[in-house]
Structures are given as C-alpha cells and as structure tokens.
C-alpha cells in the first residue's frame, strides 16, 4: 500500500498516532517513530502539599508504575535535581492525584531541548487534560521553536515559564498575542532588551488589538531600560486584563517610571485616539460602520472577527452633537455586523463581551479628552532598578490619582507597588508617603523588604 508523504512511513505513523494520555508511553512511542534514540526519562516530582504522603508509609508511591517504591519526597526531589545537574534528559512531572494520567505540571530543567523533542512534546502534551503549568528552565530554546510552543500552550497550560532562554530574535511576543490563552507568563533572565520589550508591549495591547487573558507577566532580571519601560507602558494603555507586572532587577530610571505612572492615572487622549473613540461611539449607536484608523480590534489581524462586539456606550463622555438612536428602534434593519433579527439583537445585548477601553466614560479638561487610565493592574514590581526620588514622585502621583477615582467603574487600581533597592534613600519622605497610601489600599499585610526579596516574585 502506498503511503503519503512520499513514502515517509515514520512521519505518516507519527501523524496517525493517537496519544493515550500517559506521558511516558506517548513520549516513548513518538520518539521511537521519530528515530530519536536518546529518549528523555519521565519522573514524578511530588508536590509540596503531597510530600508528606510519600514517606515510608506511602510505599505504593506516586511514580509511574510505582517506580519510586518507598523513597520519601525529599529523596525524590534531590535525585531529580542531581539528574538535572548532570545534564540527563529528564522530564519532571507533578500529578494532581494518584492517576498517572493526571499530570498537571511539566518541568524541563537544565538540558537542551532539540527541535525533534519539541515536535514530540507538541504532539503529546495537548493530550494531558489536567496540564496547567509548563516550565522550561535553561532549556536552550530557539526562536524557531516559539511558534510550535505557542501552538502547544494554546491547547493546554494556563501558566508558562521560560527562564534562562535568551532568544536572539526576541520572539517571546508570539506567546501573548490577542489569541493567546495563557494566564501567567514568566520570562525572567532572558536578556530581554528594549526591542523585545517593544514587541511585548504591542502584544499586551495597541489601539486596535489586545490580549484579554494574560493575568500576570514576569519580566524580572532582564535588560529593560527607560525606552523599554515606555513600550511596556504603551501596552498597558489599552490592556484591561493584566493584574500583575514584574519589572524588578532591570535598568529602569525616572523616565521609565514616569511613563508607567502616566498610564495608571487619568491621561489625555492623542488626536488619533480621539478620532478612533468617536468612530467607535458612532458604531455603537448604530450608525454606518466608519473606516477604522487601523485594523479591527481582533485576535488574528486584519480580516478576522472583531473581539469587541458593538454595544451601546454607557456614557457619551465628552462627545458632543445630536443623539442618534441605534437603527432598529424604529423598525429599520440594523447594518452589519449587527444581527438583522431584533430577537437576535436583544440576545446579543444580554451577553455583552469586553468593551474597547476607548469607550470608557471620559471628561474634558483644557480642551483635551481625559480617560481614567489603567485601574486593572493591581501589582507592580519595580524593585532593584535605577529610580530616584523624581520617579518616585510620579508613582506617588499615580496612586493618588487612582485614590481620587476610587470605585469609578468598579475598578480598584494599584494595590501593591514594590520599589525597594532603587536610587533613593530608605528615609525618603516621598517613599514614606507612598507606603502609607498603599497600606490604606492593600487589604493584605505588607511584606517586609526581606520577605519581598525572598519571595518568588512579589
């Protein structure tokens, strides 16, 4: 029988292979079909909560096929860490329960992941129904692997850690596009510079696109300066999902701190943003679709389905002119993309999606249109940078501005701000004022400087 792919039987068999959800078995089968002779070993790392149950009394063990016998948790972790130090290809997994199919975390630490292995993982990891966390630490990843990794994470984990994997072409931004499903992304110690920060900022949001799923982003221990911080600030301008951002241990000074502070408090719109705001308001009122300044607020670029449905604006803000009722109120047909059936239109209104931040209620001041700014970000880490008292004043002004707008639109605003070990004295008056204000806003006990340093990433 003639096989496809020009008689490439192995490739055809890999494509036809159906993963069973047992990582070790699927990995072995797929590596064999791919002609990979050095197959990574799968070992189970006990979770901290389950560690106590893995002592001698738990002799059945949680390992695949009971391979660990009566070894305790500390011994297993020590063994896996020793194997990683020796460069052995070892995939460490954490189970949700005793079922070997319940893999919830996968760790690849300290050994180079070749493209062939990445292809195998891209095939077998999506079959792990409980997988929530994927961690590549110092795994020698390359730019060419990022698209495959992006495809992989789109169907399984919510949390992705890529630390110690510098990429010459700075392709990390492909992981946080508008279509990304990741909730948590850590990119510590990847030599991320201002060019990479610009791409990441654009991934967070532009005026015409935005990421709606990412909740936390860690960019600590990189090479981001004021220029990169400004790009990140631009990404925060229209992003309304990110709750936590860590920029600790970078090279950010006063200008970068000021740019970040600007988007966290009420800011004035640029001319192009005022034009786009008016266009969106006209659309939401049922007027014929106007030509957008750029591509639609989309997940996949030009021509894709807009992610922000058109719904009536809650407030006219500063917009002037005659009020125009949406078409359909007087029986006229609604213009696309609104449903033409009134019942469908009512159904759509009952299930609204996210609204473009440009449609947030604003006000007029000195001839400028002012919007409230980003009040979704709750945690910002700027520790170990180069910020002086000047930049600190800008951050204090941002928190004070949010305090004045407290409760507007149901948004809380910044609750925790880490600024220790910067270029200002610990006895600085501005720092004392900032800490006092944050204590009033943060319901959780404040960490000491030592506790913040010892935490994974405050």
pLDDT reading at 383 higher than 70:
yes
pLDDT reading at 402 higher than 70:
yes
Instruction: Record the pTM.
Output: 0.77
Element (H, E) at 107: strand 103-109
The more confident residue out of 331 and 417 is: 417
Phi/psi-derived region of residue 57, left when phi > 0, alpha when psi is between -120 and 50, beta in every other case: alpha
* Mean pLDDT score of the chain: 77
Give the per-residue pLDDT at 280: 87
Give the per-residue pLDDT at 449: 56
Q: 239-243, 420-424, 447-451 — which is least confidently predicted?
A: 447-451
- Looking up tokens 């943003």 gives 273
DSSP state of 445: P
Strand order of the sheet with strand 216-218? Answer: 41-44, 90-95, 103-109, 133-137, 159-163, 184-186, 216-218, 244-246, 379-381, 416-418
Give the per-residue pLDDT at 319: 41
Give the per-residue pLDDT at 66: 38
Q: Which domains does the chain have, with CATH numbers?
A: 5-267 (3.80.10.10), 383-454 (no CATH)
pLDDT over 90 percentage in the chain: 45
- Looking up tokens 């009512």 gives 346
Q: Tell me: the pLDDT tens digits for 31-73? A: 988 888 889 999 998 876 554 444 433 333 333 333 333 344 5
Give the per-residue pLDDT at 302: 36
Give the per-residue pLDDT at 183: 95
Give the per-residue pLDDT at 80: 53
Q: Could you give the CA distance from residue 72 to residue 61 in angstroms, rounded to a whole number? A: 9
Q: How far is CA 383 from the centre of its chain?
A: 20
Q: Taking residues 254-272, report their average pLDDT.
A: 93
DSSP state of 289: P
């Amino acid at each position: 029988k003639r096989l496809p792919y020009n008689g490439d039987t192995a490739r055809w068999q890999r494509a036809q292979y159906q993963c069973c959800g047992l990582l070790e078995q699927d990995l072995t089968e797929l590596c064999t079909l791919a002609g990979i002779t050095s197959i990574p070993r799968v070992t189970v790392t006990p979770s901290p909560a389950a560690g106590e149950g893995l002592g001698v009394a738990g002799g059945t063990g949680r390992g695949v096929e009971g391979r660990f016998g009566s070894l305790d948790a500390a011994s297993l972790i020590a063994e896996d860490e020793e194997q990683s130090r020796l460069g052995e290809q070892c995939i460490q997994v954490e189970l949700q329960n005793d079922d070997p199919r319940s893999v919830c975390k996968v760790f690849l630490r300290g050994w180079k992941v070749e493209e062939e292995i990445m292809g195998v993982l891209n095939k077998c990891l999506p079959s792990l129904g409980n997988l929530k966390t994927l961690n590549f630490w110092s795994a020698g990843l390359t730019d060419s692997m990022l698209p495959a990794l992006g495809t992989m994470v789109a169907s399984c984990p919510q949390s992705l850690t890529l630390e110690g994997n510098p990429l010459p072409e700075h392709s990390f931004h492909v992981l946080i596009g508008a279509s990304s499903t990741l909730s948590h992304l850590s990119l510590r110690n990847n030599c991320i510079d201002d060019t990479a920060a610009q791409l990441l900022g654009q991934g967070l949001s532009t005026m015409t696109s935005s990421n709606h799923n990412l909740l936390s982003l860690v960019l600590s221990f990189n090479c981001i300066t004021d220029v990169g911080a400004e790009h990140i600030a631009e990404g925060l301008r229209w992003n309304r999902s990110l709750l936590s951002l860590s920029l600790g241990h970078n090279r950010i000074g006063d200008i970068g701190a000021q740019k970040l502070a600007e988007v966290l408090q009420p800011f004035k719109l640029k001319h192009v943003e005022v034009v786009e705001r008016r266009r969106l308001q006209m659309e939401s009122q049922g007027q014929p679709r106007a030509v957008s300044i750029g591509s639609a607020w989309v997940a996949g670029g030009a021509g894709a389905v807009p992610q922000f449905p058109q719904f009536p604006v809650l407030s006219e803000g500063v917009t002037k002119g005659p009020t125009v009722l949406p078409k359909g109120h007087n029986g006229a047909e609604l213009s696309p993309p609104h449903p033409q059936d009134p019942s469908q239109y009512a159904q759509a209104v009952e299930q609204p999606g996210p609204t473009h931040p440009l449609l947030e209620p604003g006000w007029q001041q000195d001839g400028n249109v002012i919007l409230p700014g980003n009040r979704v970000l709750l945690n910002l880490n700027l520790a170990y940078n180069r910020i002086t008292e000047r930049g600190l004043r800008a951050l204090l002004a941002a928190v004070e501005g949010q305090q004045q707008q407290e409760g507007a639109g149901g948004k809380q605003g910044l609750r925790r701000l880490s600024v220790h070990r910067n270029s200002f004295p610990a006895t600085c008056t501005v720092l004392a004022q900032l800490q006092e204000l944050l204590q009033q806003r943060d319901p959780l006990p404040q960490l000491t400087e030592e506790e913040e340093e010892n935490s994974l990433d405050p």
